[in-house]
Structure 1
């Protein structure tokens, strides 16, 4: 018998803030968090200077040196988000979660870039002042999932999801499937990413970064006819998922129910998005939720402000839903890569529960090649809906869709 899966705790670390009240204020201020990175001026071969960093980040003061030594910044942000999400769910410090009934699903595009630099220095020069026994632990692809498990003493299943910008969405989806099928009762699920100039270089080499270096407030501009590329961001988001009857029995506050998830592969090009497989992913999530498209009242779009991505995504969305409301929070935070699925799910659930949805910033003229959708622009839109979908599509042809239901 399949079980119901609900969300009882949520938190994140982002350029907009680390709690919903602060994030909400930032979204309703209609100003992005993109800045010009003066420190990147020394990279002569880099064209973009834009990013959306989490400024002045430091781990919580009560963490010990022993706890911190295995964590780079990406793992620290995920762990902080998880600690706050567990507190939000009323489970922080609860010894019962250590008996094997709680697991972790979490990922990022890579481990901590600082430690990758340290090991690269060792390989290139034969020595590295900062290389030590924990360097690999901080750079390994599953550093976020492993550190969450160890920090909180969780002995349930571990699902690393290092799938670029699908990492957060896939983590939530796989956690949902594990609980739904009876394999485990509770999961921490989400993702994170640590800002590094190397990520900007990657997208720069693909001619995919925004070059509005002197006007950071004008970029990125998803779905806009004059968009000029993406902006890299950073952060982390973690949700607490648990089986519905257990959550109800312990009197937990329930934010939403996870009712649908799907993941597909393009099976073609490593970086070029495919309308057909994106469409199939959304259709499969609807089938999993046993929902007709008309029931979904809002789509949190991937919306990276890249030409091919925006066009393929919106055409696929229009194919499935028709004229549905859509917006992209990447216009506020930039592309947070492994974190975006979790952060955007967190935002979507709160907005659904409060009956409003943030607009896409810098969307002044919709690209005529994009799908015919109800793009939310200029200011927040009041929408009363029981269901929202969050989509993320990653390099490697990884497509992911989640559907959340409001709990009345």
Structure 2
């Protein structure tokens, strides 16, 4: 089995578009949540807040490549370019058979889908339909467009598992390299903000209806009232260790474990046993002991059922003394991007030996007790991190990251 390391990263998020910006937001407790004024005009919608991304330059991607990209794919493309630049990987190497892609989204571009149906309603036909529309709305739009942009001829994997998507994408990239099938994989995920996402969670009574960005989301908190939808993208470069060493690459961390499994139970009700099995599977994959874990980055979104189930699962794992926090209090829930974003947050915590607390966690809910919640920045040596994401349909995914040595 080959060792797999991370040599580059790129991120576009509600709290910043570079590793430096996101760390400044995390360390200074800065929220990326803001009101969405246009949603106030939507009948019956009670959601007023979201996490949106700003100030990224789409024109960094050539027009010939950008013309088939929706907003989420543009963000993912920019992240991939940043990650490749940091890793020092040349365009020629990305076009070789040694390099592949594993990146996904929850759906195709919701904004493009809405535009298509708005045009159909107004014209009664397809006179405004663009030939590039399908390339923007297909479920593997992100992976396919990045492959075309970069000239990728190796493996292209496009996982689609909502909140667990990019954790699975990184895990699949890890397994691909570990088994000697590729030397380099660009891994991650992306999703764009759209009314339909907010509406679905609102109808399910799973979305926060707070109007103050400083009060929500509140993972694990007694007064949590649901998640806050958001958008964003992230990419990490996974590389075979020997390949990275041969080209003198700067190694950010090592991926040592991954597991994904399904509850096989319910479409929307989270199951602590499934979460537990996933974390245990990742531990077995990594070969490390529980006492070696220095920090757990929780999926916790701020929902009543999900946070409670995850707290129980972490407690059942036997992690009573391991610090736990959830970073979605800063960004909201970026769906398919959440796993890779949180992996990047974990890398920054490892780099700075500082654990970031759960934002807006003022009073731990009784049903979320039994684990060690981080309530203030915690300085400690951080060498091994567990990070998990759990999706609709009971799809669970967990990664184990380790400081490279």
Normalised-by-shorter TM-score class:
over 0.9
Displacement, 1:72? 0.5
Shift of 1:63: 2.8
1:268 corresponds to which of 262, 265, 289: 265
Distance 1:44 1:239 in 2: 40
Query: Equivalents in 1 of 2:80, 2:293: separation in Å?
Result: 28
Aligned-residue offset at 1:180: 0.4
Mapping of residues 130-279 of structure 1, within 5 Å: 130-213=128-211, 215-279=212-276
- The match for 1:362 is 360
Structure 2: unaligned runs, 5 residues or longer: none
Give me the whole-angstrom Cα distance separating, in 2, the residues matched to 1:92 and 1:211: 46
Does structure 1 retain, via aligned residues, the 8 Å contact 2:354–2:382? no
Does the 8 Å CA contact 1:121/1:127 hold for their aligned counterparts? no
The CA distance in 1 between the partners of 2:246 and 2:127, in whole Å, is 53
How far residue 56 of structure 1 moved from its aligned partner, in angstroms, is: 4.3
- The structural deviation recorded for 1:197 is 1.0
Q: Deviations over 1:149-200 (max 9, x none)?
A: 1111111111101110101100000000000011111100000110011100
Q: Deviations over 1:342-398 (max 9, x none)?
A: 010011012112201111111011011114111111x31112132001100001110
Aligned partner of 2:32 in structure 1 is 33
1:75 partner SS: helix
Aligned residue among 80, 85, 88 for 1:87? 85
Q: 2:295 aligns with which of 294, 298, 310?
A: 298
Residue 389 of structure 2 corresponds to: 392
3-state SS, counterpart of residue 396 of structure 1: helix
1:118 and 1:130 in contact (8 A); partners too = no
Q: CA deviation at 1:55?
A: 2.5
Match of 1:104 in 2: 101
Native 8 Å contact 1:316 1:371 kept in 2: no
1:21–1:387 distance in 2 versus 1, CA, 3 Å = same
- Does structure 1 conserve the Cα–Cα contact (< 8 Å) formed by 2:349 and 2:382? no
After TM superposition, list the pairs within 5 Å mapping 1:44-63 onto structure 2. Answer: 44-59=43-58, 61-63=59-61
Instruction: Answer yes or no: is the 8 Å Cα contact 2:17–2:56 preserved in 1.
Output: no
Structure 2: distance between partners of 1:16 and 1:74: 16
Q: Which runs of 5+ in 1 are unaligned?
A: none
Partner of 1:19: 18
Task: Give the Cα separation in 1 of the matches to 2:394 and 2:138.
Answer: 22
Over aligned residue pairs, what C-alpha RMSD do you find?
1.3
Residue 97 (structure 1) shift:
2.5
| Mapped contact 1:102–1:154 kept (Cα < 8 A) | yes
Partner Cα separation in structure 1 for residue 85 and residue 43 of structure 2:
45
Alpha-carbon distance in structure 1 between the residues aligned to 2:345 and 2:276: 23
TM-score by length of 1: 0.96
Q: Is this contact kept in 2: 1:118–1:128, CA < 8 A?
A: no
After TM superposition, which residue ranges in structure 1, 4 or more long, deviate above 6 angstroms? none
| Distance in 1 separating the partners of 2:24 and 2:128 | 39
Does the CA-based 8 Å contact 1:344-1:390 persist in structure 2? Answer: yes
Q: Is the 8 A contact 2:7 2:249 kept in 1?
A: yes
Report deviation, 1:123.
5.5
Does the 8 Å CA contact 1:355/1:383 hold for their aligned counterparts?
A: yes
Residues 1:5 and 2:11 aligned together? no
Contact 1:167 1:338 in 2 (8 A): yes
- Residue pair 1:48, 1:211 contacting (<8 A) in 2 also: yes
Q: 1:347 aligns with which of 333, 345, 350?
A: 345
Mapped to 2, the partners of 1:58 and 1:49 lie a distance apart of 27
CA distance in 2, matches of 1:383, 1:395: 34
